[in-house]
Amino acid sequence: MHYIGLDIHKKHTQACVRNEDGEILCEERIRTDAASIGGFFEKLERDAGGPLSVAMEATGFYFWIYDRIAARGHRAIVVHPGKAKPLMRAKAKNDRNDAAALSELLRSGCLEGIYVPPKEVREMRELTRHRESLVRKKGDLKREMLSALMQMGISVPEEFRSNFTKKQMRWMRSLGVFVICERLDLLEQTEAKISNVEKVIAERWGVDEDVALIRSVPGIGMVTATVIKAEIGDIRRFTSPERLAAYVGLTPTTYQSGEKEWSGPTRRGNSRIKHVLIEALLSHVQHCPESRISLYDLRKRDSIGRKKALVASARKLMEALYFMLTRREAFRAH
């Protein structure tokens, strides 16, 4: 078995190869492209004559490298940089030392790999995150137009009770302000793009079993269910609802000193799921006020306040989704 550490960067990748005794057999700097990576592993396969084990840190573009290594039949693990760095004790911080440290940590069994989502889940994430980006741009355009009107001293007539209705947008065009008209055009185009994305989401994952189970919760629609499914991935990677809640960022930070113990803010987690869960909770409370989750939210509001109750109730909803997905059961309100 040969152990390979890859320190990946956009243009170049530093590689270090060790044998089972820890001896460095090869150190090489290669271009970060498909041809160079493929050629490097072809050479290693000829020289090694056996299986290869590869470790790399998670970057924003590691997926294609991981896929190519795994497709060649080799064991590949991806490690969290924040967990790998404290184990690297090189005196000098450079690519060569990082690759060497990764290969040695891999050989000694000190590295724990993170979850690498399959291509289907990555495509789902890409699509839902693209929609999220479009929704943000839509909100930005609306705020920019309202700000522009205020800067010009133009007040929106009181007859428009809601902003950006078709009637109000016709009035805004009638003002003849070039910048406002341009932004209105962009707004309409962005809304059309959002509709297109939502249509694709419905076509691709409307029949997905996990999405269907998540949608059985009153107040959760197709888009929200798809976001939850995409960001969670395989529910089986979480051994308990507590671990899933920690991943999402719905568990409080605990501080302890001597006999004193107190809780702080919730931990950092997957902000996308956390955001849509809180939105789903608010919708669920309206659509199903008699469910156990809604009643729990009502009790918590009285005891700890609305803001903290939202987080606590969102965790309750997340735990319900965990058991629904693991037991393959639809939502039960009572």
- Regarding whether 140 and 100 lie in a shared domain, the answer is no
Domain boundary among 189, 205, 221: 205
Residue 265's pLDDT is 54
- Outline where 206-270 has alpha helix (H): 209-215, 222-232, 241-248
If we measure between CA atoms, which residue out of 308, 272, 15 comes closest to residue 130?
272
Bigger pLDDT: 11 or 255? 11
Residue 93's pLDDT is 82
Residue 258's pLDDT is 56
Mean pLDDT calculated for residue range 176-185: 95
Residue 68 is encoded by which pair of tokens? Answer: 């190519």
pLDDT digits (tens, 9 = 90+) for 238-255: 999 999 998 998 887 665
Q: Considering its fold, how many domains does the chain have in total?
A: 3
Q: What are residue 93's phi and psi, to 5 degrees? A: -90, 105
| 112 is a domain residue | no
| 305 is a domain residue | yes
Other Cβ atoms less than 10 A from the Cβ of 60: the count is 7
- Regarding whether 268 and 176 lie in a shared domain, the answer is no
Residue 90's pLDDT is 66
Q: Are 317 and 280 in contact (CB under 8 A)?
A: yes
Q: String of b and e for 258-295 (b: at least 16 CB within 10 Å)?
A: eeeeeeeebeebbebbbebbbebbebbbeebeebebbe
pLDDT digits (tens, 9 = 90+) for 302-322: 898 988 899 999 999 999 999
Instruction: Please say if the pLDDT value at position 21 is more than 80.
Output: yes
User: Whole-structure pTM over 0.75, yes or no?
Assistant: yes
- Regarding whether 98 and 8 lie in a shared domain, the answer is yes
| 320 is a domain residue | yes
| 125 is a domain residue | no
Whose tokens are 């691709």? That residue is 204
| 334 is a domain residue | no
| 148 is a domain residue | yes
Q: Are 201 and 223 in contact (CB under 8 A)?
A: yes
pLDDT band at residue 264 under the 50/70/90 scheme: low
Q: In CATH, what number is assigned to the domain containing residue 25? A: 3.30.420.40
Domain that holds residue 137: 131-205
Mean pLDDT calculated for residue range 150-163: 90
HEC letters along 178-214: HHHHHHHHHHHHHHHHHHHHHHHHHHHHCCCHHHHHH
